[in-house]
Each structure stands twice: as structure tokens, then as C-alpha cells.
Structure 1
Amino acid sequence: MFGSIQRAATAASLLLGLIGSTQASTSYCYNGLKPSYVPPVIAPGYAAQLVVSGLIKPRGMVFDSTGALLVVQAGAGIIRIEFHKPGEDESRNCLEGLGSMTQVTNLVENKNLNHGIELSSDGKTLYASSNVEVFRWAYDPAAATATDQQTVIANMSSAGHITRTLLFSRKHPDILFVSQGSSANLDPKALDPSSGISQIRAFNMTSLTPGQVYSYPSDGVRLGWGLRNSVGVAEHPATGAIYSVENSADQIHRGGADIHQDNPGEELNDHGVFDPAALFAATPENQGPNHGYPHCLSLWSTDIPDVGSMTVGSRFVYDDMKGLGGDDATCGRDYVPPRLTFAAHTAPLDIKFTTAGDAAYVSFHGSWNRDRPAGYHLAVVSWNATSGEPIEPTDSTTAAVDVLTNIDNSVCPNACFRPAGLAIDGEGRVFMTSDSTGEVYVVQRVATGLWRGVD
């Protein structure tokens, strides 16, 4: 299918584990692959390993029904990575039960794909997105084939933020969520609820007739709007509540002061338990609440002019929006606040819940417009598995606990890993792509802070 793309030599360069190559380390597990930069630091209670290298801008990931990992390579297509099952491979990696890689298959060649990927609930239909379209293929996990490409959603905006994150509801498996960000840093188009800009929309894929193509945004219903760029979208496994992580605005001023170094904060937004019957029956003006962008942003640092009684997570207005009828009080009253706020410019790109629903992992891609780089790490947020709510209060500054970090962010983004997509396998291991370095890491909880098999 792919011809010369990533032939056997490339597959060999992606091998996960090599016999006898483990070296003693307290912060990183070497087993055949070593990053070209200083290895990352792991939090106590976790183990981690670099398991794949040599990829082309890997972004979103999903596991198929056989345990193979499907990865979007931005600007290239989709590959499928198979692993030895536990007990099949004598040269296991440092992480318990993780076998070496057996094969890389090129599933889809499509240079327009850039981030989003998802599988239907039966695992037989593969979905992926470009900046303007959502595609699907008939997927056979046993044969490792994806055939009969079809466009199922079209007419998305091609400007600005180009990722179109995809998520199938597990509670309502007919429903595909599509997230589209803004077309500019401060985008006035987002003020129009019918624009589809800075929104998450829901589409019923079983209602799609053969040959039909949904038009975005009119053929979908609005789950939420005023969301500048919610790249990560996830469904809590117990309650069905939808959460998203939002990348907020850059270069913000307030009261004539430049406050962009530490404001606005990035957001974790709660979209509630999804009720398709109610949402699809709602009139357009009643579909999904407004979360504030571009009128209102969320406070991270309270060191700003006229802070008053505001605290972390409070909605505030900034200079570009003054004179348009809004103020801090309006922001606090008329728009849905974030459930949690994260440090400014850390750029969360994905969120994945554990099977138990007691935690969510978040990949922070990292800043580009901050004097001291921020982000560039994988973090975990504790959740109440029963209520489906984060444990930390809304004004917490410690909700995101570092799991995998770069030892020196000052060398980022050129000499460090940069987290993008996440996927969790059946054993609870967290797989994370680093798009800037073409790598995949695996992170796993362990009984102690030491690696398996490390002195």
C-alpha cells in the first residue's frame, strides 16, 4: 500500500527492546532505545521507557481490538504497531509484560491527516481527520487493513488551529464528537454560535446514509462553545461526563500591562453528562453553554491590575475586549467557568481517563511565547471515580501532578520531548507520543519508584 514508505529498515529502527541492553538508572530505563536528548525524569511510583523512535510527527493514538497501536503521523498517514503478547517474547522490555514490537504496518497514506483518530465501538471502522474533513475506513484488525476511504464530515474551517479531535462516546456509541479551535488568537468568529468556531459538536454517525457527507457545523449539534482550542476531549467512564482541555489565548494585556507570561490559564472544562436525546432536540440557541472565549479568559496568576477578589480560575476581561459590553462581573456571571485551571501556555493536547475513572492523564505540549518555557510534561489529575469530578477544588494550582518531565525546559522545544497524543492499553499503561522527536513513550504505575530489572 505504501510502497517505499518506511520499509523494513525503518521498522527495524523502531524495535522496542534489545536483549541485554538494560543499563542501571534511577530516572530512565534503557532497553535498546535512547533519546538524543537528556532522558526524562519520572515521578516516584512510576516507570517509563522510550519504546518507539523514528516516526514522522506522531500525534493521536488509539488501540485496536487486538492490542495493536494505531498512530497518526501528521502529514503522512496512519501506521499500526504490533507488540508481542506477554510470554511470547524472551526479550521483554523493562516494563513488566510489555513485549518487543513485531511489526509496523502502513495503514493509510493521507498527507492531510494531522491529529485526530478514533475507532467505532465495534472496532471495525477507523476515523481520522484533516483540518477540513473527517474520513472513515473499513478496518480489519486481523488483516491489518484500512480500505474504502470515505469523507463523512466536510466544510470545516481551514484557518488557524488545524487539529480536529475525534471522540466516540462509549455511553452512546453512535455519537462522534468533533472539536474545532479558533482561526486566530482572538477570533471574533467565535462570537457566532452558528460558526462552528471554537466549539465541540456532536454527530450521529448511524444516521448517516450511504454516500452522505455531513456539513460542519450545520449537521451537528453544539455540545459547547466559547472554547478557544479544546484539543483534548474525553468521556468519564463511569458517569459519561465529557471533559476537554483547552489551549487559551496568547499576548494578553490588562490595564495597559503585559500579563501574557502567566495569564491566561489553560482550562479543564466540564461539559456535563451527555444526553443525546435532549441535545439533538434542542433549538440552536439552546445547544450547549458558552465557556467565555473570546470575551473572557481564566486567571492563573493573580498578579494582574485590578484583580479585586478574583482567584485562580476566575473569568476576567482583558484590554482587547473592553468596550464591547463586558467586564469581570459579566465574565463571572454569564459564562461557564473552568472546572480546573492549569499554568499559562502549557498547551494541553490530550486527556485520557483510567478505566476505573480515578485519574486522568494530560499531555502538556509546551509553550512557545513565554520567556521561560512551561509545559513539556505528562501529568496526572486525581478524580473521584464515583462522582466523575476532579478531586481538587476549582482554584487549585496543584491539580496536575507531574509524571514525566524534561530535566531542563530551557532547552525546549528543540532538545526535549514534547507530549502530544495519549492512549491507555488494557494493562493500564499510558502511551504518549512526542511529535517533535518522533517518539512514543510508555509510562506505568509500579509498586516502587524503581524500574523492573534495574539495579
Structure 2
Amino acid sequence: MGYLITLAGFAALASIFAPEVVAQSCSGVTGRFQPRMGSGYRYSVLATGLRQPRHIVVDSAGNLLVAEGGTQGVRRLVLQDQGNIVCVQSNTQIVSGSTNHGIALSADGKTLFTSNLASVTAYSYDAATGQVGQGRQIVTGMSFQGTHPTRAIATSKWSPDTILVARGSASNIDTTTTQQSAARSVIKAFSISKGMQTAHNYASGGELIAWGLRNVVGMTEDPVYGGFWSVENQMDDLRLNGRDIHNDNPAERLSYHGVLNDTANRYKGLNYGYPSCVPAWDPQNVGISGLLVGSLFKPDGVPNVAADACANNYMTGRLHFHAHTAPLDIKFNRNSTAAYIAFHGSWNRNPADGYRVMRVDFANGQPVHAVTSKTAQIPVMENGNIGGCPNNCFRPVGLDFDQRGRLFVSSDTSGEIYVIYGA
């Protein structure tokens, strides 16, 4: 397998995006696409030919670990700087099978976690050698039911014995998730050390962090302020009073869950409304008086709630995004001045939207924009021709930073890993 790295340089233009003007490459492979980059950013293609790369993580030695989809396992890419670009020195499969989306490392970097549709598995891991120990299931009981098989996972530096696991709904409108006992459309936290002794059962074990979240596919912890965040894919084919409003509603959602080790965390265990209530992206299209961006409302075909329940009984997101853009991961830069979000792109919208990496600016642990903002997203990396999506474009999935501030981005459809410089 070969690898190519393409370096994009940018002129100082007044427009949001700057065109590619310089190309450099590692020997071997040509990237399939030439993304448009936001002002101040450049990119390279680190690797091609991967099998549906999903979430990714940089280890303590600066190697990139990649969870490949379809139970393909985990690959370890040892990286090497070549001038002002980075290349792959070696590519080795270190875990076979047993993963389809999620990957994380413990706070000390010595334990590797992967997830599949049924369980979370832990392995001892040596970043220097790539040596992986025998896998041990620490969370079980998540067997696949319906349309959302991903199991996003995240670890915590502020609460290092904790692993968080998200499980999505079984269908577009999963009415059973109005009960916590369904253990779907939830985020739960589990003790790693206890799971090493006896595996946790997802439904009956763990601590509830949040529920009423249709399908959380990306989670992260703020490295400076310790806040825990999730990005959520909301409902498809939305109708209200028999009218089709799905093209611009509901909003995708960024939600805040507080600091995990804070005993007074008032965000822990809150319900975000799904399936009964969904957040608005285009309130005018919804047509309910007084509705704002992010306001919750009850669409057709969902469980009945009291007339004022959507407004008063559920937690709202902290920011909201274009309908059906499918945010799949979120990561902060090292000083927590910005969070970067991978939008995998829509299938339930015409024209298509998403297929990009965007930035949200933060200050003092919170986004600088208001909950109702529609302009909080700043372009970082987009497809030059979104008309070629979803099959003939890059589709961002996983994100992670290395210690030098380089942002790695996986694209599952094209089997590529990109590097963004200047993040």
C-alpha cells in the first residue's frame, strides 16, 4: 500500500476560501480530491487505500491509530516529518476485527479501547512498539437493533477511570427511548477498572450522562476546562401537521454535559427531548410562533407530550447546525479556543449539504456564539464540488490533533486520511 501527501498553499485572498497553489507529495499514491480550504489553513493527504476509516486517535508517541469500518480492525500509522509535510513511515494492522467505528486511548495512553455494535473492548497498548495485548470486553449488551450500529466512545483526562459510550436509536423515531430502560439514544459512563474485572452490561450498568439524544456519533472532552461535549444526528423525514418540513429541519446539535468529575454537575442525566421533541434549524419553515433556532417542538409521528413540554421539560443544545449535515466527530485544539467538527454529509436533503470540516470558536469553556446563532461555523475544509457527493467526494468522519497542533481527518468513503495545518 502506498501513500501520497499533497501540500496546499494559499494566497492571501479576501474570500473565505483560498485555492490550492502548491503541491508536494510523499512517494506512492495520489489523493482523489482537492478540497477547498478556509483562510489560513492548508492540507495534505496522509494515506489512501484504507478500508472505511472511521474514528482515529493519536497515541503518546505521535502515531495515528485508525478504526476501520465493517469490523476491519485497527491500523497503526507510524508517521515521519518530511520538510513541512508529514508522511507514513509504516502501516500495520494491530487489531483484527472487533471494531466498526469507535476508538480511544486511556488518559495514560497505555490502554486502547475499541467499540463495535455489541461491546467495548480494552487492550494493553505500547505506543513505542505498537504491541497490543489480549482484548478484554469491558462493556457488553449493546447488540445491534435497527439502523444505528455505531458506538462512539471517549475517555477522560479529568476522570481517568471513566469511559463514555453512546448508543443511538433503533429507528428514525424510536418510541421506546422515552423510557431510560431502553438504554438507547443515551450516553453512559462506566468505570474502566471495574469493567476490567467484570464486564458492565450497558442496559443495567453505568451512570447516565444524558438521554433523549437520537444518535450521538462523536464525543470529546475540553482539554483546558474539562467540559464534556457531544454532536448528534437528528431525525429524518420530518413532518408537521402533515406538511413536509424535513429539508431544513430539525437542526443537528452540539450539546454540553458538564465536567464529569464535578459532583455538582447540573447537566448530568438531563433529557434532550428525543423522540418527542426536536430542535428547529429554520423556525420560519416550521411555522410555530415564537420558535427560535434550537427551540424544541413536537413533529408528527412522535410520542405525545404535554403542550408546553418541549419548551419547559427538556434540555436544549448549546449550538445547532444545518439539518442533515451529520456531525460525526468533534475535537478541541490544545488551548480550547476552538472545536473542530466533521460533518459527514446529508442523504435526506436536496440539495445535499455537509461533507466538510468546520470550526466553532470558544472562550472560557463555551462557544462564543449564542444558542440561536446560524453563523457559528467557520469553514476549514470543504469539497470543491459537492455535486459529486456522496460517492465522489471526501466524507469526513474522525478527527484528532497531535502534539504539534496538526489535525488529522478520516474520510470513510474515499478511504483517505487528510492532515490540516494551521488549526
Do the aligned partners of residues 126 and 257 (structure 1) sit closer, same or farther apart at CA in structure 2, a change above 3 Å counting? Answer: same
Residue 325, structure 1, aligned to residue 312, structure 2: no
Counterpart position of 1:370: 349
Counterpart position of 1:27: 19
Alpha-carbon distance between aligned partners in 2 of 1:234 and 1:54, rounded to the nearest angstrom: 27
Residue 397, structure 1, aligned to residue 374, structure 2: yes
Q: The residue matched to 2:310 in structure 1 has which SS?
A: helix
Alpha-carbon distance between aligned partners in 2 of 1:34 and 1:122, rounded to the nearest angstrom: 36
Q: Tell whether the 8 Å contact from 1:430 to 1:443 is kept in structure 2 after alignment.
A: yes
C-alpha deviations, 1:327-347, integer Å up to 9, x for none? Answer: 3x3201100011111000000
What are structure 1's unaligned runs of at least 5 residues?
A: 1-9, 447-455
Alpha-carbon distance between aligned partners in 2 of 1:358 and 1:396, rounded to the nearest angstrom: 18
Task: Give how far 1:276 is off.
Answer: 6.3
Counterpart position of 1:308: 289
Q: The residue matched to 2:177 in structure 1 has which SS?
A: helix
Residue 171, structure 1, aligned to residue 150, structure 2: no
Counterpart position of 1:382: 361
Q: Tell whether the 8 Å contact from 1:406 to 1:417 is kept in structure 2 after alignment.
A: yes
Do the aligned partners of residues 126 and 209 (structure 1) sit closer, same or farther apart at CA in structure 2, a change above 3 Å counting? Answer: closer
Do the aligned partners of residues 408 and 203 (structure 1) sit closer, same or farther apart at CA in structure 2, a change above 3 Å counting? Answer: same
Q: Tell whether the 8 Å contact from 2:345 to 2:352 is kept in structure 1 after alignment.
A: yes
C-alpha deviations, 1:49-101, integer Å up to 9, x for none? Answer: 111111000011111111000001112110000112x5xxxx43xxx3x4322
Q: The residue matched to 1:245 in structure 2 has which SS?
A: strand
Counterpart position of 1:56: 51
Q: The residue matched to 1:164 in structure 2 has which SS?
A: coil
Task: Give how far 1:137 is off.
Answer: 1.0
Task: Give how far 1:22 is off.
Answer: 8.8
Q: Tell whether the 8 Å contact from 2:5 to 2:31 is kept in structure 1 after alignment.
A: no
Q: Select which of 308, 318, 331 maps to 1:352.
A: 331
Q: How does 1:274-293 map to 2 (within 5 A)?
A: 274-275=260-261, 288-293=269-274
Q: The residue matched to 2:182 in structure 1 has which SS?
A: coil
Counterpart position of 1:126: 112
Runs of 4+ in structure 1 deviating by more than 2 angstroms, as ranges, are: 14-17, 21-37, 207-210, 275-279, 303-306
* Aligned length, in residue pairs: 411
Task: Give how far 1:42 is off.
Answer: 0.4
Counterpart of 1:215, as a letter, is N
Q: Tell whether the 8 Å contact from 2:408 to 2:420 is kept in structure 1 after alignment.
A: yes
Q: TM-score, normalised by structure 1?
A: 0.86
Q: Select which of 105, 123, 127 maps to 1:137.
A: 123
Task: Give how far 1:15 is off.
Answer: 4.8
Counterpart position of 2:230: 244
Q: Tell whether the 8 Å contact from 1:317 to 1:326 is kept in structure 2 after alignment.
A: no
Counterpart of 1:41, as a letter, is R
Task: Give how far 1:278 is off.
Answer: 6.4
Alpha-carbon distance between aligned partners in 2 of 1:420 and 1:165, rounded to the nearest angstrom: 12
Q: TM-score, normalised by structure 2?
A: 0.92
Q: Select which of 406, 413, 416 maps to 1:429.
A: 406
Q: Select which of 78, 83, 99 maps to 1:82.
A: 78
Q: Give identity over the alignment, percent.
A: 37
Residue 36, structure 1, aligned to residue 32, structure 2: yes
Counterpart of 1:325, as a letter, is V
Task: Give how far 1:14 is off.
Answer: 2.3
Alpha-carbon distance between aligned partners in 1 of 2:373 and 2:30, rounded to the nearest angstrom: 36
Residue 411, structure 1, aligned to residue 391, structure 2: no
Alpha-carbon distance between aligned partners in 2 of 1:252 and 1:326, rounded to the nearest angstrom: 20
Do the aligned partners of residues 305 and 171 (structure 1) sit closer, same or farther apart at CA in structure 2, a change above 3 Å counting? Answer: closer
Counterpart position of 2:67: 72
Q: Tell whether the 8 Å contact from 1:157 to 1:183 is kept in structure 2 after alignment.
A: no
Task: Give how far 1:311 is off.
Answer: 1.1
Q: The residue matched to 1:366 in structure 2 has which SS?
A: coil
Counterpart position of 2:217: 231
Q: Tell whether the 8 Å contact from 1:116 to 1:166 is kept in structure 2 after alignment.
A: yes
Counterpart of 2:295, as a letter, is S
Task: Give how far 1:410 is off.
Answer: 1.7
What are structure 2's unaligned runs of at least 5 residues?
A: 12-17
Alpha-carbon distance between aligned partners in 2 of 1:354 and 1:40, rounded to the nearest angstrom: 21
Q: Tell whether the 8 Å contact from 1:134 to 1:154 is kept in structure 2 after alignment.
A: yes
Task: Give how far 1:183 is off.
Answer: 0.7
Q: Tell whether the 8 Å contact from 1:298 to 1:313 is kept in structure 2 after alignment.
A: yes
Q: The residue matched to 1:208 in structure 2 has which SS?
A: helix
Do the aligned partners of residues 23 and 194 (structure 1) sit closer, same or farther apart at CA in structure 2, a change above 3 Å counting? Answer: closer
Q: The residue matched to 1:78 in structure 2 has which SS?
A: strand
Q: The residue matched to 1:146 in structure 2 has which SS?
A: coil
Task: Give how far 1:209 is off.
Answer: 4.9
Q: The residue matched to 2:350 in structure 1 has which SS?
A: coil
Q: Tell whether the 8 Å contact from 1:116 to 1:128 is kept in structure 2 after alignment.
A: yes
Counterpart position of 1:4: none
Residue 14, structure 1, aligned to residue 3, structure 2: yes
Q: Tell whether the 8 Å contact from 2:136 to 2:196 is kept in structure 1 after alignment.
A: no
Q: Tell whether the 8 Å contact from 1:16 to 1:101 is kept in structure 2 after alignment.
A: no
Task: Give how far 1:305 is off.
Answer: 4.7
